[in-house]
């Protein structure tokens, strides 16, 4: 039976949704998704989703990292897997038989990859959420020269990020959302502040920060108010500092363009943005 134009369009849309869901899951969770994760994200029915995944595997757009009878099928992007395989450890004796030209190219590629990772971290400030956003914030704060920057990855017993400025310890909670930043993470800061105070730190040596990547699915110029009304009141009551990650990204661009020093940028981050 010949497919209609509408059916072909729908099929293409399913393929696009699955690829995008796999990519988003990997970058948001730092792990590889099961097919059931893709079903939850896309809303595509299980049988149809399995068919699409199998077809994308045959087309070398997806790669099955793990599967077995009665076990979940773990998938990732095909090109991503090829990149992993390229890092396979080669025997030491291979250098005697290799090409000097390739060694030079590999060294240049490694240097460029390090540079690319830096810019990727900065760009995540504009679109990421959860752990990737926290990592990007910690990376940027460290790059700007803040002291003792620590990212507590997946640690329920600590704030997302801590850092220091002029002898004051800052506890930071981050939120990436497709809406305005809510009060929840600001409220959570109080728990961390009380924990630090109970351990003997002076109140004058402690402060709280809320960093929000609001309306992260939109261009920064098209985004609305960064904070909900409740979030604003919580910030005012607890006297915590806040900034948007788009604001932090703009500071990075100004430092990179040499229109702002890192010292000036640190001062602006510490002052934060005004609540409107």
- In angstroms, the Cα distances linking 240 to 7, 192, 202, 250 are 53, 13, 16, 21
DSSP β-ladder status, 161-165 and 147-151: antiparallel
Rounded distance between C-alpha atoms, residue 134 and residue 140, angstroms: 10
DSSP β-ladder status, 241-244 and 206-213: parallel
- Convert the pLDDT of each residue in 54-85 to its tens digit: 999 999 999 999 988 888 899 999 988 887 77
What mean pLDDT is reported for the chain? 90
Domains and CATH numbers, the chain: 5-82 (1.10.10.10), 124-271 (3.40.91.30)
Return the pLDDT at 166: 96
Task: Categorize the per-residue pLDDT at 5 as very low, low, confident or very high, splitting at 50, 70 and 90.
Answer: very low
Rounded distance between C-alpha atoms, residue 226 and residue 174, angstroms: 13
- Convert the pLDDT of each residue in 217-256 to its tens digit: 999 999 999 999 999 999 999 999 999 999 999 999 999 9
pTM of the predicted model, to two decimals?
0.72
- In angstroms, the Cα distances linking 256 to 62, 117, 260, 269 are 36, 15, 8, 16
């Amino acid at each position: 039976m010949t497919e209609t134009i509408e059916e072909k369009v729908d099929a293409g849309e399913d393929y696009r949704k699955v690829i995008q869901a796999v990519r988003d899951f990997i970058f948001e969770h730092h792990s590889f998704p099961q097919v059931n994760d893709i079903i939850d994200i896309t809303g595509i029915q299980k049988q149809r989703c399995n068919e699409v995944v199998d077809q994308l595997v045959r087309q070398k757009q997806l790669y099955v990292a793990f599967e077995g009878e009665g076990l979940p099928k773990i998938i990732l992007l095909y090109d991503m897997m090829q990149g992993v395989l390229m890092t396979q450890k080669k025997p030491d004796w291979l250098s005697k038989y290799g090409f000097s030209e390739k060694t030079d190219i590999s060294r240049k590629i490694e240097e460029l990859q390090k540079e690319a990772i830096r810019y990727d971290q900065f760009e995540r400030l504009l679109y990421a959420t959860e752990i990737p956003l926290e990592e990007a914030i910690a990376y940027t704060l460290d790059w700007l020269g803040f002291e003792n920057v620590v990212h507590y990855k997946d640690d329920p017993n600590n704030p997302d990020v801590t850092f220091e400025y002029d002898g004051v310890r800052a506890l930071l909670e981050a939120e990436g959302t497709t809406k305005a930043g809510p009060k929840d993470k600001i409220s959570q800061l109080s728990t961390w502040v009380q924990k630090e105070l109970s351990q003997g730190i002076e109140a004058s040596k402690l402060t709280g920060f809320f960093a929000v990547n609001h309306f992260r699915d939109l261009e920064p110029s098209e985004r609305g108010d960064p904070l909900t009304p409740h979030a604003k009141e919580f910030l005012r009551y607890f006297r915590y500092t806040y900034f948007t990650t788009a604001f932090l990204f703009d500071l990075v661009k100004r430092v990179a363009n040499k229109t702002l020093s890192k010292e000036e940028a640190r001062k602006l981050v510490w002052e934060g943005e005004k609540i409107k």
